[in-house]
Structure 1
Amino acid sequence: MIEFLLQPFQFPFMRNAFWIALIVAPPTALLSCFLVLKGWALMGDAVSHAVLPGIVLAWLAGLPLLIGAFAAGLGAALLTGYLADNSRVKRDTAMGVVFSGMFAAGIVLYTAFPSEWHLDHILFGNMLGVGAEDLRTSALIAAPVTLILALKWRDLMLHAFDPVQARVSGLPTGLLHYGLLAILALTIVATLTSVGLILAIGLLIAPGAIAFLLTRSFGAMLVAATLVCLLAMIGGVWASFHLNSAPAPTVILILTGMFGAAFLHRTIRGRTA
């Protein structure tokens, strides 16, 4: 039994997959709580799709791909906000137009200028191909993001619940708003080499949604989301080894199952009460 449990740790590529899971779980889990609280679930989806043209343009310019991804992701978030604030178009509509257009532009650029980067690895990640450089890059992004969210969660929570009260209280609401958008773009960049662009949205929504169903305070929600995400990430990587499946989709399936269980638990408890 012990040998069965520890078998995946005997392989270097599996150990790297476990490490990247431990690195990206805390920032995505904490950020998911704020996205769920603010109703920004689709914002994570939009930014994750919108980074594709930035990646291709950065490759063509000979720049680090992460710089292009961050610039495109933040640009998409800012453009969505500008369109929503300066037109009759609602935010979700502007979001759909911006991210679909940028994602389509990325596909066109990718097919027009073929590179050694495989599109599947960009879209769906490659946790089993993560190297030491990928681990360092993700850790350098994930560590400050986690620290900022952990230290400023009360300010961000007030801004999410009541922006007017946050402004009256003297909080820099503009900095909090655009800072959260920048953190969102950075977090997606950190998950780029692991779960990819499309599946990153699962990590940015499911942990916060599960914790929202299970807890009654925002502080407890942050802790629960982090534990849920860590459990799903480690469990998904471990299960993928024995199931001979891809780690990232396995992680998302586990998170989906956990959400279903949390929903049933909340429903049953509510009827009993």
Structure 2
Amino acid sequence: MSEFLLYALWPFQFPFMTTAMLVAVLVAVPTALLSCFLVLKGWSLMGDAVSHAVLPGVVLAYLAGLPFGIGAFIAGMVCAISVGYLKENSRIKEDTVMGVVFAGLFGLGIVLITAFPTDVHLDHILFGNILGVTPDGLVQTAVIGVLVTVIIVLRWRDLMLFTFDPQQAGAIGLNTRLLHYGLLALLSLAIVAALSAVGIVLVVALLVAPGAIAFLLTRRFGVMLLLAATISTLCSLIGIYLSFFLDSAPAPTIVLLLTLVFITVFAATTRKPAVV
């Protein structure tokens, strides 16, 4: 029994594992909270668009000698604002605009990497390197993750009303434009926080799956937020733990767990609707 316990606790003897789990929690909570708004507002593709669009910002920030987070945030906001402008000034549907914008910006990022070779490994940008997060990266993730979480906790009722009924939100005096772009700014910040941990591609799962799972389990938005954050955190911690023994990459393992949970919950709730 003692040997089994020592074996089970083996991963916690390595500092990089405990750091990775801390980073995972700092990323899982804000992205899970945002996923609830994205799922209910039909903005799941927006998370995909913004996450891919930050690539040219990362490359340009590297070339300018600036922190990656600054470039990623600016690029994310450019993508979000561009989508809004094109949607309001054309007959093209929003999902089509998102696809065009994020594909174009992602392609620009690949071209920039090819034209200006850097010391930054592309795989780390696309898929993350949670086991190799630096102290500076940990601080950046912590600051942004806590900031996004606090803002959502303080303003979740306003954001909820804007998500369900923007007209009603405007009628009672809420600044819907501020809420719109504020939500997009929070999305961009959350992606910046997750950049070093799970990368551009896999952050999409963290911005969609927790909210989708919680949506199947409850009809109350407050409960949905709590469920999404709890599910995302547990899957992130368990995924990193299992990756140690499976000798697999942590980020894909986390995403696979979230997918399995979604399939399980979907199968269960199709027989019995959520009543929480």
TM-score in terms of structure 1 length: 0.98
Task: Give the partner amino acid of 2:201.
Answer: I
Aligned to 2:93: 90
Aligned to 2:29: 26
Aligned to 1:66: 69
Task: Give the partner amino acid of 1:99.
Answer: F
> CA–CA distance in 2 between the matches of 1:258 and 1:237?
16
> CA–CA distance in 1 between the matches of 2:222 and 2:230?
13
1:167 aligns with 2:173: no
Query: How big is the shift at 1:2?
Result: 2.1
Q: Is the 8 A contact 1:167 1:173 kept in 2?
A: yes
Residue from 221, 225, 231 that aligns with 1:222? 225
Give the 5 Å matches for 1:94-133. Answer: 94-133=97-136
Aligned to 1:208: 211
| Deviation sequence 1:209-251 (CA, Å, 0-9, x none) | 0000001200000000010001100000000001000000000
Task: Give the partner amino acid of 1:17.
Answer: A
Residue from 255, 263, 266 that aligns with 1:263? 266
> CA–CA distance in 1 between the matches of 2:140 and 2:5?
33
Query: How big is the shift at 1:119?
Result: 0.2
Q: Secondary structure at the match of 1:245?
A: coil
> CA–CA distance in 1 between the matches of 2:6 and 2:265?
31
- Number of aligned residues: 271
Residue from 144, 165, 175 that aligns with 1:141? 144
Q: Is the 8 A contact 1:53 1:105 kept in 2?
A: yes
1:56 aligns with 2:37: no
> CA–CA distance in 2 between the matches of 1:20 and 1:75?
27
> CA–CA distance in 2 between the matches of 1:97 and 1:27?
27
RMSD value, Cα: 1.0
| Deviation sequence 1:161-182 (CA, Å, 0-9, x none) | 1000000011111110000000
> CA–CA distance in 2 between the matches of 1:61 and 1:23?
28
> CA–CA distance in 2 between the matches of 1:5 and 1:263?
31
Query: How big is the shift at 1:269?
Result: 1.2
**% same residue:** 60
Task: Give the partner amino acid of 2:236.
Answer: M
Q: Secondary structure at the match of 1:194?
A: helix
Question: Which is further off, 199-208 or 261-270?
Answer: 261-270
> CA–CA distance in 2 between the matches of 1:54 and 1:47?
11
| Deviation sequence 1:55-102 (CA, Å, 0-9, x none) | 111111111111000000011010001000111111111101100000
Task: Give the partner amino acid of 1:210.
Answer: I
Gaps of 5+ in 2: none
